Amino acid sequence: MTEFDEPAFRQRIRDFIAANAPDLPYRVGTRSPEDQAESRVLRDWSRQVYEAGFEGAEWPVEFGGRSDFRAVEELIVTEEFAKALAPTPIGAGRLAAHALLHFGTHDQQVEYLPKIRRYEHVWCQLFSEPDAGSDLASMRTTAIRDGDYFVVNGQKVWSTNAAFSDMGYLLARSDPSVAKHAGISAFAFDMSLPGVTVRPLREMTGTSDFNEVFFDDVHVPADALIGDLGQGWMIATTSLASERAGVGALVIRLRQNLDALITYAKATPSGTGTIADDPVIRQQLADFTARVEIATLMSEAAVDRRLRGKFNEADAPLIKLGFAVLNQDLSYLGIEIQGIRGALATDDPEAVDHGHWQDEFLYAKAYTISGGSNEIMRNLLGERALGLPREPKPH
């Protein structure tokens, strides 16, 4: 294996982003396109990211991956994209590809993986339901076998990008008679099938990032089943675990935001000096500097452990929880520090930084819920990492 030239690799990513990244307004977090035109731009960009080998390089060579791929590349790509505020490929294709590569049939892999790479298909994740989020295994959407089909009925919610998706990575209850985790199956679900209704929801950020998805006697061909019948829970938890590794980019955003806030405080007149002369704000900025440094070091230590093949049960929930709390506090300071201008709407022409802080503040709540809420992270820490007694279940 040739020696890995990290500076050259980083430079290649930066050059690629500088030459190709779409000229779209930056939005915090994982957001959906605003319209079909934006969706097309993001599809095109996502395809280029795969073509350049910055995504999907770990796939088998047969499906476009590289035999000399190193795990550290993925971390570097994540870092460079975050630093450049470049959008990551749209949709849940990465998650679906993980499920297909590890549990799909060869026919499914040949059918879907090239389309994920070429961005002919945008995928969404159809897991959560109105009464099944943290307790996902209590989902009620059914997929009941009927001859050559599964007939799907029920509802999903929070489905990011569903209004722009061709395919859904669906979890549904295929056997209501067995224990709840055992009766769930996973499907490669064609969003254009008759009986599918997608209703966008508008959130407090002012954008429509989520959707409700309704299934009314949708006939899904039996060969859409991923893995074996009843294997859906294991397939989903395995692919979600592969996703949680991505908090490093968020910690980079924390530092960028803090740096921007310090620059703003130093440059903005207040009284006889600047905002940075305010004794309370100085204390707050110093406090956040320490907290962001701790979050960065924790994230780096976890990455280091992962690259050395050492698994620490506490890493993922601790970093996710730490980020979500710190990010919410910092976004609040970002609003507070502006005084009365902090009360402007995100799209107000007078809003500081084109409303970036309003967007950060409103979106910060999402991070305390998505990928497992703060409370669930605390449960994971207590029960799995510290070995504390399990929380009592309601009867």
Ligand X SMILES: Cc1cc2nc3c(=O)[nH]c(=O)nc-3n(C[C@H](O)[C@H](O)[C@H](O)COP(=O)(O)OP(=O)(O)OC[C@H]3O[C@@H](n4cnc5c(N)ncnc54)[C@H](O)[C@@H]3O)c2cc1C
Which one of the spans 32-40, 109-117, 247-255, 371-379 is the region binding ligand X (CB under 6 A)? 371-379
- Judged by DSSP in three states, 245 sits in helix
**Of all helices (H) and strands (E), which one includes residue 152?**
strand 149-156
CB nearer to ligand X: pick between 158 and 164: 158
Q: By CB under 6 A, is residue 155 in contact with ligand X?
A: no
Binding test (CB under 6 A) with ligand X, winner from 52, 196, 376, 385: 376
Binding test (CB under 6 A) with ligand X, winner from 158, 215, 233, 361: 158
CB burial readout 208-246, b (16+ within 10 A) else e:
bbbbbbbbeebebeeebbbbebbbbbbbbeebbeeeebb
The bridge status of strand 184-190 relative to strand 167-173 is antiparallel
Write out 98-138 in H/E/C secondary structure. HHHHHHCCHHHHHHHHHHHHCCCCCEEEECCECCECCCHHH
Q: By CB under 6 A, is residue 344 in contact with ligand X?
A: no
Catalytic residues: 243
| Distance from C-alpha of 75 to C-alpha of 79, rounded to nearest angstrom | 6
Q: By CB under 6 A, is residue 93 in contact with ligand X?
A: no
Interface with ligand X (CB under 6 A), residue total 17
Binding test (CB under 6 A) with ligand X, winner from 32, 46, 108, 125: 125
Binding test (CB under 6 A) with ligand X, winner from 109, 268, 274, 379: 379
Nearest distance in Å: CB 131, ligand X: 7
Q: By CB under 6 A, is residue 369 in contact with ligand X?
A: yes
CB nearer to ligand X: pick between 81 and 367: 367
Q: By CB under 6 A, is residue 108 in contact with ligand X?
A: no
Q: By CB under 6 A, is residue 327 in contact with ligand X?
A: no
CB nearer to ligand X: pick between 270 and 373: 373
Q: By CB under 6 A, is residue 208 in contact with ligand X?
A: no
| Distance from C-alpha of 21 to C-alpha of 52, rounded to nearest angstrom | 12
Pattern 163-192, ligand X, x by CB under 6 A: ------------------------------
DSSP assignment, residue 369?
T
Sequence-ordered alpha helix ranges (H) in 208-278: 232-243, 248-267
Non-local CB neighbours of 98 within 8 Å, separated by 6+ positions: 238, 239, 242
Nearest distance in Å: CB 210, ligand X: 6
Nearest distance in Å: CB 62, ligand X: 29
Q: By CB under 6 A, is residue 96 in contact with ligand X?
A: no
**Phi, psi of 43, deg, nearest 5:** -60, -45
| Distance from C-alpha of 370 to C-alpha of 324, rounded to nearest angstrom | 10
CB nearer to ligand X: pick between 57 and 249: 249
**Phi, psi of 193, deg, nearest 5:** -65, 145
> Would you tell me which residues interact with ligand X (CB under 6 A)?
124-128, 133-134, 158-160, 366, 369-370, 373, 375-376, 379
